[in-house]
Chains A and B, each alone.
Chain A
Amino acid sequence: MIPAAFEYYRPKDMAGVLAVLEEHGDDARVLAGGHSLIPMMKLRMAEVPHLIDLQDVAGLTGITIENGTVRLGTMTTQATMIDDAALLAAAPIMREAALQIADPQVRYMGTVGGNVANGDPGNDMPGLMQCLDATFHLVGPDGDRDVAAREFYEAAYMTDREDDEVLVAVSFPAPEGGYAYEKQKRKIGDYATAAAAVQITKENGVCATASIAMTNLSDTPIYSEEAGEALIGTSVDEAAVEAAVAAMLGDIDPTEDNRGPIEFKRHAAAVILRRAIARAWSRA
């Protein structure tokens, strides 16, 4: 658990970050909270000769809510998400999900940007961002660029972000209606065996909109559009829920690991989604 030697950079602004990235290409990585990257470096599974710490870069933290849009700076920690009253009012699912990430010590360090940009299928925020139809804001040598969370993930640890780009913020429309983030894990600090993010709106007793995303059940987060559609226009009765579950099961592709065989994970995914839908609908 001793990393190979690396150069450490701590620029004050984004220009400084981009300059190092430009000079060293994929030999350089940015460091946010460090809870994914540093263990990988210590295990020597990630060799990062040039490590750029973002913590002194101005303007990367904070939560703003304006005109119905929630924006989180990339260095906003999970602890901040849990404590922020305005975020709780605007998007309560964020707090419910953040409370299920790792443990308090990790949440003081772990950031939204690190969580979504690393591309680890075990991370909770990517699925949540897909559920909320978030937009990721990137900067690079050629300027700014926005990517939809639902288009961002390509494979495990592979995303649409270029090596010389930095994810600086995420934003999403403040969600309406009921919500739930349901997660099964073996213990505190564990990645999900299965997790579901659900947002539902209700009009006249009928589901008007529904958005469903699943975590750690494929090599990327899974936004299951069909699962959401299965609920729309229904009273979210048993048949509709089962249709949503069936659609979700058609979209996920879990692998066997120490959390269990594929058969179990598919079963757990179905149970977790049913519970998430029920809770979200009860809050809608």
Chain B
Amino acid sequence: MKDDVTREERVDALGGMGCKRKRVEDARFTQGKGNYVDDIKLDGMMFADFVRSPYAHARIKSINIDAAMALDGVAAVLTAEDLKPLNLTWMPTLAGDKQMVLADGKVLFQGQEVAFVVAKDRYIAADAVELVEVEYEELPVITDPFEALKSDVVLREDTVDENGTAVDGAHGPRGHHNHIFKWEMGDEPATNEVMDDAEVVAEETMYYHRTHPCPLETCGSVASMDKVNGKLTLWGTFQAPHVVRTVASLLSGIEEHNIRVVSPDIGGGFGNKVGVYPGYVCSIVASIVTGKPVKWVEDRMENLMSTAFARDYWMKGKISATKDGKITGLHCHVTADHGAFDACADPSKFPAGFMNICTGSYDIPVAYLGVDGVYTNKAPGGVSYRCSFRVTEAVYFIERMIEVLAIELNMDPAELRMKNFIKKEQFPYQAALGWEYDSGDYHTAWEKALKAVDYEGLRAEQAQRVEDFKAGKTRKLMGVGLTFFTEIVGAGPVKNCDILGMGMFDSCEIRIHPTGSAIARLGTISQGQGHATTFAQILATEIGLPADSITIEEGDTDTAPYGLGTYGSRSTPVAGAATALAGRKIRAKAQMIAAYLLEVHDDDVEFDVDRFVVKGAPEKFKTMKEIAYAAYNQAIPGVEPGLEAVSYYDPPNMTYPFGAYVCVMDIDVDTGVTDIRRFYALDDCGTRINPMIIDGQIHGGLTEALAVALGQEIAYDSLGNVKTGTLMDFFLPTAWEVPNYETDFTVTPSPHHPIGAKGVGESPHVGGVPCFSNAVNDAFKAFGLRHTHMPHDHWRIWKTANDLGLHG
């Protein structure tokens, strides 16, 4: 058989790994043809809406639903009393705590769900919400975690026994009734000893403010209980649909095979859609009660006020070094504000996520981390907003501590980093707080970044600017923000990572069709990451069929293999590995078929791009398309018909992407207005599957980093009222606020991942936040600033300048 095309052309025709394939999802998203939860319309569907608490802490004296029920079109009003017979007044959280589904006698945060109104349409539901009369008795409000740990006020009555003594929590003894857990890693005595004897010690306390992932699509669900066949179908904004099915089965008693959970298109998650919300549970109950499909979709204010927040960590650090800048130890203590319920989404054994990656990219011989989780009268959550579990907090902490240490040492912070990086030859590297870093080449990346931005030139320009400022020639200061981050993603090995007991593997199932196209289903779910594009590219390279001939499907638990979902940059490290390995199973069978068709021994054929060829005789080959046809239509002795494979992948280790970022910022000292002149981002995510999608991910993650660093917060007043409940006050950047980003890369493949990929979606956020923040801090360094808290919005920057006496 003659072949006119070159090998290179055959590679290009696949659209496999490494090419800038256009996102196949965008045709429908850009034309308004996506199918989101709120697009789902079913016959006879009812709409639901919540009555929410206006108070942050109050006893509920009575709830009167009569007027609401009397309204024409109202089908039901559920309260905690209705959930009691079903044992659903409270539900378990992913963090081992429990959470009220509907207020059980009291409310613990503003916006808490009190009653669930079900009506013929959403207008009637909204009217009925106003007619539910709830009588509250206000209780003392605590919004400060340090006050919570001193207060006599018992926020959660289930934390004390009949004598008022604190009972153990999910992670051990409580030190106080408002204390959730204490989590410790590392060696505190050894760390203290190093600190006591150190030549130089730098200390700083930093508040990583509470913020919110704020996906464009808010949370919602549609539940449909078919009483005839006993099947429940639940569509929802779920980052982990299979886990939702299991949890729904455990909570409801409905057998798991009778529950179908579907995540349709999801408009962004960023951690906000990992957990289970009262709305999901109530929509199921309401469908069972009314016998009709019930839709619940929250509005923007409800999303910001009541669904999972991120961060809210008070971090107290100590870092020690020799006089010439070799780091000798690190001590970190966190007071973690979890709000009213510990609903943080972390692997079960990690109540503070992977905060113990806080030794960063540095070879630190001894370290200690202690985290105290605390209840307050704020919304529950503590999810990983565009980061692996608490990694943004960890990287912010170490990258600020490095800057503070550089000030203490009077050393350039770029040089201090270079001096302390883990060396290439030290990998796999065993970190002091327990992790084994798989691979890295930090020095190369750092040198490339500093050269790209002309680091020395920037420092010279900055020094001149300081002189000009002091001479009254300018009112603008210049900051150079540096960050070198190491992420820990791809959770994770089943031996230490589980969610509610379910191991954090993931999966892929492939079916090759007779004509040489394919469908692959995964246990993950895209929320905008472009899985349908990139996973097809992995498969194209692995099985030699064009990416355009491969459909990727996720999110329907009736069809997709079980998986733990998409968050924490785990899709490529875990499901991507499963995809590659399932592809290799396909290839192994295809090899036998090819050998049979070519009348040679199995070992005498080899895979080449899109075909198997006879070794030494490349003109003799069978394409994968031909092999697929033969698999279904030709009787091959000893080989089953069909060409399918499934793979479940339990990763041997996490993956550790890293990167080097530089931000150049001008700051108007008089108004506090910042102007990002330049942002350079070098990312090493191992093997690069689609460079265009990587760039898109980096642009998005940096933009969310800019938001968090420069103004995005969930703020409360002393009465627990949310002050930032709308997008007027909650900062969501637009194209106008976003600078040009320069992206760059190095490639250090993961040694334990089948294709060497490490994950990238969250790196830019993890690295971006400290980089923007370091730029602000750096601008004022020449005037004596050591640290100022985020968010760096106009008035706080102005206050920093004012406190330094820069307003004359």
Q: Which residues of A are in contact with B by a Cβ distance under 8 Å?
A: 1-2, 4-5, 44, 103, 184, 186-191, 193, 258-261, 264, 267-268, 271-272
Other than A5-B123, A264-B799, A267-B670, give 6 A-B pairs with Cβ distance below 8 A.
A4-B126, A4-B130, A5-B127, A103-B736, A264-B794, A264-B795
Task: Tell me which residues from 725 to 756 in chain B have a Cβ below 8 Å from any Cβ of chain A.
Answer: 728-729, 731, 733-734, 736-737
B729 touches A258 (CB 8 A): yes
- Indicate if B316 sits at the interface (CB-CB under 8 A): no
Q: Evaluate whether A186 and B793 lie within 8 angstroms (CB atoms) in the complex, with A4-B127, A268-B798 already known.
A: yes
Given the known inter-chain contacts A1-B299, A186-B794, A187-B731, please indicate yes or no for A44 contacting B807, CB distance below 8 A: no
Tier of interface size on chain B? 20 to 34
Given known pairs A1-B301, A44-B130, A187-B731, the reply for A260 and B737 (CB within 8 Å) is no
- Indicate whether B20 reaches chain A with its CB closer than 8 angstroms: no
Point out the residues of chain A lying under 8 angstroms from B734, CB to CB: 103, 187-189
Cβ of A186 and Cβ of B711 under 8 Å apart? yes
Q: List 15 A-B contacts (CB under 8 A).
A: A1-B301, A2-B122, A2-B125, A44-B130, A103-B734, A186-B711, A186-B731, A187-B733, A258-B724, A260-B793, A260-B798, A261-B795, A264-B794, A268-B671, A272-B671
Q: How far is the CB of A241 from chain B (nearest CB, A)?
A: 14
Contact pick for B737, options A1, A187, A258, A264, CB 8 Å = A187
Identity of the chain B residue whose Cβ is nearest the Cβ of A184 in the assembled complex: B671
Residues of A within 8 A of B419 (CB): none
Of all chain A residues, which has the CB nearest B715? A258
B808 CB to closest chain A CB (Å) equals 11
A-B contact count (CB 8 A): 64
Can you name the residue of chain A whose Cβ is closest to the Cβ of B736? A188
Q: Is B450 an interface residue (CB 8 A)?
A: no
Q: With both chains docked as a complex, state the minimum distance between the C-beta of B724 and any C-beta of chain A, in angstroms.
A: 6
Given A187-B731, A258-B715, residue A267 in contact with residue B798 (CB < 8 A): yes
- Report which of B670, B715, B723, B731 forms a contact with A271, defined as CB distance below 8 A: B670
User: Which of B300, B711, B793 has the largest number of chain A CB atoms within 10 A?
Assistant: B793
Residues from chain A with a CB closer than 8 A to the CB of B288 are: none
Which A residues are in CB contact (< 8 Å) with B672? 264
Q: Is B76 an interface residue (CB 8 A)?
A: no
Q: List chain A residues, Cβ under 8 A from B729.
A: 258
The answer to whether B807 touches A190, judged by C-beta atoms less than 8 angstroms apart, is: no
Residues of A within 8 A of B125 (CB): 2
Question: Distance (Å) between the CB of B83 and the closest chain A CB?
Answer: 25
Contacts of A188 in B (CB 8 A): 734, 736-737
Asked whether any CB of chain A lies closer than 8 Å to the CB of B673, the reply is yes
B299 CB to closest chain A CB (Å) equals 4
CB distance from A245 to the nearest CB of B (A): 13
Closest chain A residue to B123, Cβ basis: A2
Task: Report B112-132 residues with CB < 8 Å from chain A CB.
Answer: 122-123, 125-127, 130
Produce 1/0 per residue, B781-800, CB < 8 A to A: 00000000000011100110
Report Cα–Cα, A267/B798, bound state, in Å: 9
Q: Which residues of A contact B715 (CB under 8 A)?
A: 258
Question: Which residues of the partner chain B approach A2 to less than 8 Å between Cβ atoms?
Answer: 49, 122-123, 125-126
What separation, in Å, do the CA atoms of A146 and B798 have in the docked complex? 43
Interface residues of B in 250-309 (CB under 8 A from A): 299-301
Which residue of chain A has the shortest Cβ distance to B728 in the bound complex?
A: A190
A259 and B49 CA atoms in complex are apart in Å by: 32
**Minimum C-beta distance from B78 to chain A (A):** 19
Which residues of A lie under 8 Å from residue B798 when comparing CB positions?
Answer: 260, 264, 267-268
